[in-house]
Each structure stands twice: as C-alpha cells, then as structure tokens.
Amino acid sequence: MIKPHGSSVLKPLYVDDDHIRKNLLEEAEELPDLLINSAAAANVVMLGGGYFTPLEGFMSLDDAICVAESMHTSDGLFWPVPIFNLTDSIDKIKGANRIALRDPNIIGNPVLAIMDIKNIEFLSTEHINNITEKVYGTLDSNHPGVYVFKSLGRYCVSGSLQVLNFSYFESEFRGTFRTAVEIRKEIFELNWKTVVAFQTRNPMHRAHEELCSTAMERLNADGLVIHMLLGKLKQGDIPASVRDSCIRKMVELYFPANTVIVNGYGFDMLYAGPREALLHALFRQNMGASHLIVGRDHAGVGNYYGGFDAQTIFEEIPKNSLDIEIFAADHAAYSKKLNRVVMMREVTDHGPDDYIILSGTRVRELLSQGIELPAEFSRPEVANILMDYYRSQ
C-alpha cells in the first residue's frame, strides 16, 4: 500500500483516547481561547484526520513563505499550500503558551483543539501579497480564494495541535465524512492495491462518470474512491448533502458492485487551481490512493488558470515530491456522432457542434426553471434529485 507523505506511518492529530480527550476538554475550559475562522477550522479537521501528515500543527510565517515560494517547508518537506491559522485579534492570547481553539461553525463555539503556541507573527501587506500571488497566481480580489485569504487576518499563530473533535462534519455528514485513517483502513481491508481517487465539489454527471470508469479501466484499478468536499464553497454551488445523494445514486445504478467507496472530507475549497491540485494529490496519498484523476481546470474558478495547468504542474515539481500518480484526463462530453461520452482530445474528427456541453451556470438555470437536463448530459435519476432540490428553493 502506498506510504503516507513524508512519513512511514499516518500521523493524525486527533486524540482518540476517550479518557485523555475528556481531560483535555476540561483543561481547555480554563485556557485562554481563540475563536478561529472557518479556513483555520477546516485545517484543524484535516490535521486531526491525518490528511495533512506529517504536519504537527499550523505553520510559522517562515514555513508559510517557504511553501509559497518554493513548495517546501524550511526543513525540506514538499508542501504546496501554506497551512495557516490567521486571525485579526490576539488580545485574548497574548503571553499564552497553550490555548484552546474554538469552532466558528457550531453554535456556542465549542473547543475544537488545544494548541501549544510556537510563534505569533504579524503579516505585512508585502507578506500577504507575496503569498497570495504565489499560491493563487493572482492578486485579484474577485477571485473567491483570494478574497477569503485576504480577509482571514494579519496575525499568524503557529504551533502543534491536539484535535478534540471534527466540527460539524461528524454530525451533519455521519454516513459520508471519513478521516484519512478510516479510508486507509478500509482500502487495506479490501486489499485494493491500485486505487483511483476522484475529487469533486459538484454533482457527478455523465462526463464525470466516464472519467472515473475510463481511469479505472486504463489503470486496471482495484477500486475507486469518490471523495467529495464537504466544507464551504462559493455562493451558488450545490450543497454537499444534495451532491452526496446524486453521487450515491449514480454509483448504485451505474458502477459495478463493490468497486466504489463514496465518502467526503472536511475542508473549505481554496479555488487555487494548480497549487490546490498538488494538495489534493498529497492528501489522497495520505488516505491510501495510488492515483488521482486530474481533469480540465481542476480546482479552478473562472478564467484564472489555463485548462490543463493543474496537470502540467505535476511535471514541474521534483520527481520525488509525491508517490501518488495522476491520471491526466481531458474534458469529457457526450458525442452526438458516437452516441456516447468521450474524452474530447481522443476524437479528432469532431467539431464544437458535435458535442453536448452545458456549463455549470446553464445547468443551474435549467434546473431553476424546472427544465429537465438532457439525458446525454445527466443520468435521469441524478437529474431528478437536482430538480427536487431546486424546486424546494
């Protein structure tokens, strides 16, 4: 089975001993506390679940700058995106060595983790702009990832963590949220060797189905993990619970039995294009996947990235950076000529009018107007779930 990134074993930061966790929760009530933002809370969840192995907590400013500029921490670990705890106010934690981190996403702000502070550092405008440009490739605040990052705060609070729960993901997505520890264990028990991961923040339509089936066939894979993002998206994106229902229905009806695992992870979308594609690959390696499907405009938004930048970046990093491999997929669409979904670069005799392609915006428009999606674009059972959701809005 593929090894975790930068380690011989997975390193989840969640405290799984009930007695120790209970004592830590009691201790936390007496500690200075910090109400963190959603982005930091998502990082805590990922660190807790082992997805960010081998990190021991939040990065210092030096590490974050190294990562932004060279995609390595100061001690040489390959890492594509800074893992920050940024805040605007440090008044309650000045002088503290050990603090409680409180969850912004649950009423009452319960304790999410305990942190041993290494440094509290101020980020200058130059720091913010440098990191933003390196990670997102733009300073444009119309970019949703840039907008969020620039709003997180100027103080970088770094240090090691003891994670005490997985926020709202455990209760709201009880049948879907899984840690890297749990997924790796399931893959091991299934004795899968070649494992394909598929990242999604959208419902799966026929093109996505074809990408997964093609990757499994060409890699002679033992299984597929459809791994959906459960955290915060941009306005207008379809909620995780609806996406979950769509994906499970598709798997039930259109994939061979016992070849697919459907689950999700607790992270907020960055929309960082190529850099985020590398992060997606890294934490899929940690969960036990040998391959990640990387398609057109993976983790992108708008026109900020080239269509296949998220694939070519894997060719630009040193070869020993990651053990996981990518399945480089083309844009897929339904061919009216061949009456099936195809990868567009593989049918050279087709023109634009030979395909049925709908943008996400057009899909939302059709559904909101009560118009059925074409059968060539979406399986009818999936389209019905989406239609019911839009009718309820």
Q: Which residue has the higher pLDDT, 389 or 181?
A: 181
The reply to whether 275 and 350 lie within a common domain is yes
Q: How many domains does the chain have?
A: 2
Query: Is residue 173 in some structural domain?
Result: no
The reply to whether 290 and 360 lie within a common domain is yes
The reply to whether 253 and 348 lie within a common domain is yes
Banded model confidence at residue 12, pLDDT cuts 50, 70, 90? very high
The reply to whether 202 and 232 lie within a common domain is yes
pLDDT at site 137: 97
Q: How many residues appear in the chain? A: 393
Residue 129: domain span: 18-167
The reply to whether 233 and 334 lie within a common domain is yes
Is the CA virtual torsion 8, 324, 84, 238 positive or negative?
A: negative
The reply to whether 37 and 155 lie within a common domain is yes
pLDDT, the chain, mean: 94
Query: Is residue 7 in some structural domain?
Result: no
Query: Is residue 9 in some structural domain?
Result: no
Query: Is residue 141 in some structural domain?
Result: yes
Res 234 pLDDT > 80: no
What is the Cα–Cα distance from 178 to 318, expressed in whole angstroms?
30
Q: Mark which of 115, 142, 167 sits at the end of a domain.
A: 167
pLDDT at site 155: 98
Query: Is residue 13 in some structural domain?
Result: no
Query: Is residue 114 in some structural domain?
Result: yes
Question: What number is the average pLDDT over the span 210-217?
Answer: 95
The reply to whether 191 and 130 lie within a common domain is no
Among all residues, which ones are annotated catalytic?
201-202
The reply to whether 153 and 284 lie within a common domain is no
Banded model confidence at residue 218, pLDDT cuts 50, 70, 90? very high
The reply to whether 249 and 298 lie within a common domain is yes
pLDDT at site 141: 95
Tokens of 142: 């119309």
Residue 179 identity: T
The reply to whether 160 and 214 lie within a common domain is no
Banded model confidence at residue 365, pLDDT cuts 50, 70, 90? confident
pLDDT at site 246: 94
Is the CA virtual torsion 49, 171, 390, 224 positive or negative?
A: positive
CATH number reported for the structural domain that contains residue 22 in this entry = 3.10.400.10
Q: Mark which of 113, 140, 167 sits at the end of a domain.
A: 167
Torsion on CA atoms 275, 241, 212, 277, rounded to nearest 10: 0
Q: Which residue has the higher pLDDT, 392 or 62?
A: 62
Looking up tokens 């093609």 gives: 214
**Residue partners of 333: CB distance under 8 A and separation at least 6:** 207, 341, 342, 344, 355, 356, 357
Q: Name residue 155's beta-bridge partners.
A: 87, 122
* Vertex 172: Cα angle to 168 and 173 (nearest 5): 110
Question: What number is the average pLDDT over the span 337-347?
Answer: 89
Res 240 pLDDT > 90: no
Phi and psi at 10, nearest 5°, equal -70, 145
Report DSSP state, residue 72: B
The reply to whether 189 and 141 lie within a common domain is no
pLDDT at site 216: 97
The reply to whether 369 and 229 lie within a common domain is yes
pTM above 0.75, yes or no: yes
Query: Is residue 8 in some structural domain?
Result: no
Query: Is residue 3 in some structural domain?
Result: no
- State what percent of residues in the chain have pLDDT above 70: 99
Res 393 pLDDT > 80: no
Banded model confidence at residue 203, pLDDT cuts 50, 70, 90? confident
Q: Mark which of 134, 167, 200 sits at the end of a domain.
A: 167
